[in-house]
Amino acid sequence: VIHLDSKNFDSFLASHEIAVVDFWAEWCAPCLILAPIIEELAEDYPQVGFGKLNSDENPDIAARYGVMSLPTVIFFKDGEPVDEIIGAVPREEIEIRIKNLLGE
């Protein structure tokens, strides 16, 4: 899982056909619950780019995608947001969205 910021965010999206970005903050307890799930999915789906963006440190990017609640997971295809999940959800819910994007 790549740690994203304003310097590498756009190039990260450009270099992955499908990307999953976890918008989080250190004070957010549900974000800490979601983090290991994102790590597991990153191992299981090496063909998908996984990134984490600290919303407190990068408010400009969070605002660009209208992120108001944390955690928010946004799914990108060809650099464009195509789906999102708000809140800490079970792994299966995120995995279903990934499989849909992969056409599985």
Give the domain range for residue 67.
Answer: 2-102
In this prediction the pTM is 0.97
The predicted structure's pLDDT at residue 62: 98
Helix (H, G, I), strand (E, B) or coil at 61: helix
The predicted structure's pLDDT at residue 2: 97
For position 34, which CATH number holds?
Answer: 3.40.30.10
The predicted structure's pLDDT at residue 87: 97
Active site residues: 28, 31
If one counts the domains in the chain, the total is 1
Q: Is 102 left (phi over 0), alpha (psi -120 to 50) or beta?
A: alpha
- 19-36 confidence digits (pLDDT tens): 999 999 999 999 999 999
Low-confidence residues in the chain, pLDDT < 70: none
Q: Tell me which residue has tokens 């809140």.
A: 87
The predicted structure's pLDDT at residue 14: 98
The predicted structure's pLDDT at residue 51: 98
The predicted structure's pLDDT at residue 25: 98
